[in-house]
Structure 1
Amino acid sequence: MASDPKASPIPSVWARPQATTRVRPALSRSVIVSEAILMLDAEGVEAVSMRKLGARLDAAATSLYRHVALKSELMELAVDEVLAEVAQPTADHPDWRAALTEFAASFRATALRHPWLCTLLGQEGLAYLGPNLSKMNEGLFTLFSTAGFPDPTSAINAVYSYAIGMVSTESAWLNTVTRSGQTEAAFLTRLHPNSSATVSDTPDAVAIRDHNFAGALNIVLDGLAYQLNP
């Protein structure tokens, strides 16, 4: 009898090529949310659908609905998941201003990694009930209360409004730069063709954005400080 040419000449499992069949991970809410975040990071909110997400997970959209009932619920879960990356403000920080500066910087870094975050927060407001957002709100409230602010809720809203608004603008700018196919420095030079500066001596674009964020944040914090010492 002729031998099978695909068979291993050595009758051992270690000599036989391992099968490369894809093993689908067990479908769960955490798996679905993790994949949704990857889609959101790569394609944005409008590109995400339950059907496309199901295709990426090799599962029917109806299977996803067993874990997440609506796309809006999926967005809530994704928002709360990435908010876990934000460094939480500590209520016992000796300097409320320094604590807020650290918090705002961490929020900005997270939102720039996930450019859709501010879009969803801006559309839905801060009505999410997720544990990470709740923890963040509680930390800020305790920080402001401990510092002696007469209206901690308004102070929190001021910080959120500044951070979300500023990072939304910055994300839109970076998206425009990406679509141009140029570096940020080259794109800045293109916007100012009459300038005598060249790409090589254009100031560090990242440093400029860092400076703008910190400078405007200081103005917000000055306004908050006035609430303590009018």
Structure 2
Amino acid sequence: MKGEALNVVRQPLTRTLIFETGIAIADAEGIDAVTMRRVAATLNVQAMSLYNHVSNKRDLLDGMAAHLLATLAVPDIAAMSWRELAGRVGRAYRQLGLDHPALYPYVLERPFGSPESLATLDAFLNVFREAGFSPTGNYLAFSLFTGFVEGFTLDEITRRNQRSLRDPVKNPLLSEDVPANYQAVYEVFGAGAVHDDVAFERCLELVLDAMEALMAPEHPE
């Protein structure tokens, strides 16, 4: 039965334990399976016990997203070049999405509201500032960088989900008509498509080059 594989030995209830349990459920069965009652059952406690630690389901989902974001912490940020830092963060952010596809949209919509998240963002942006990016250039570079990483990862998650479908009705790319009638589609997304890892690395380098161009003086305030 669903949920049995996730049952754990009862241990002191904490927000961290609750969030980790919710993440495990989402990874195994999808975001719709994450409820206060289900998390409580998995932890072998009464549902009301969770309310001593989380206010409601929204608080639960926010906490799960924040817990995942905390795993992206990069040590010694100030010691890195901006390009090295962006590459490392971009790859980690993509991997987080691939490891936790059901929760990735919640991670993306979470605002930088806590002191911890603001401190992390400030340290990240300060590396670019010290490298010579103006405030406007820093904003444009950050927008370009996050737009690429988040968009690529969301698209990759969607395509992976589609490729996992073996029914030609649900996955049109499996139709025998595609190679003959939709040659460009088949060339780009069919059997000979560029591997996602290769595509990400190539595109990331192009994005980093474009970000570097934003340091030039022809991008005034």
Which TM-score band applies after superposition, normalised by the shorter structure?
0.7 to 0.9
1:218 corresponds to which residue? Answer: 205
Paired with 1:214 and 1:104, the residues of 2 have a C-alpha distance of: 10
Cα contact 1:88–1:103 (8 A) shared by 2: yes
Aligned residues: 197
How far did residue 87 of structure 1 move? 5.3
2:215 corresponds to which residue? Answer: 228
Paired with 1:23 and 1:42, the residues of 2 have a C-alpha distance of: 18
1:13 corresponds to which residue? Answer: none
How far did residue 57 of structure 1 move? 1.4
Residues 212, 66 of structure 1: alpha-carbon distance in 2 compared, 3 angstrom cutoff: same
State TM-score, norm by structure 2: 0.75
AA matched with 2:210:
G
Paired with 2:124 and 2:65, the residues of 1 have a C-alpha distance of: 18
AA matched with 2:202:
G
How far did residue 112 of structure 1 move? 0.8
How far did residue 190 of structure 1 move? 5.5
TM-superposition CA deviations, 1:51-86 (whole Å, max 9, x none): 111121122221111100121111221112122332
Cα contact 2:31–2:102 (8 A) shared by 1: yes
State TM-score, norm by structure 1: 0.72
- The structure number with the bigger radius of gyration is 1
Paired with 2:146 and 2:167, the residues of 1 have a C-alpha distance of: 32
Residues 136, 41 of structure 1: alpha-carbon distance in 2 compared, 3 angstrom cutoff: farther
1:82 maps to 2:84: no
Cα contact 2:94–2:149 (8 A) shared by 1: yes
AA matched with 2:72:
V
Residues 98, 188 of structure 1: alpha-carbon distance in 2 compared, 3 angstrom cutoff: farther
2:155 corresponds to which residue? Answer: 169
Paired with 2:87 and 2:175, the residues of 1 have a C-alpha distance of: 33
Paired with 1:76 and 1:34, the residues of 2 have a C-alpha distance of: 12
1:103 maps to 2:82: no
Instruction: Give the structure, 1 or 2, with the largest relative contact order (CA under 8 Å, sep 6 or more).
Output: 2
Cα contact 2:141–2:214 (8 A) shared by 1: no
Q: Choose from 105, 110, 114 the match for 1:129.
A: 114
Which consecutive residues of structure 1, in runs of 5 or more, have no partner in the other structure? 1-21
> What does 1:1-230 align with in structure 2 at a 5 Å threshold?
23-86=9-72, 88=74, 90-93=77-80, 95-122=81-108, 124-129=109-114, 131=116, 133-151=117-135, 152-180=138-166, 192-194=178-180, 202-203=191-192, 208-229=195-216, 230=218
2:4 corresponds to which residue? Answer: none
How far did residue 104 of structure 1 move? 0.6
How far did residue 220 of structure 1 move? 2.4
Matched position secondary structure for 2:18: helix
How far did residue 108 of structure 1 move? 0.9
Q: Which moved more, 1:102-111 or 1:219-228?
A: 219-228
Matched position secondary structure for 1:98: helix
Paired with 1:217 and 1:58, the residues of 2 have a C-alpha distance of: 44
Which consecutive residues of structure 2, in runs of 5 or more, have no partner in the other structure? 1-7
Q: Percent identity, aligned pairs only?
A: 28
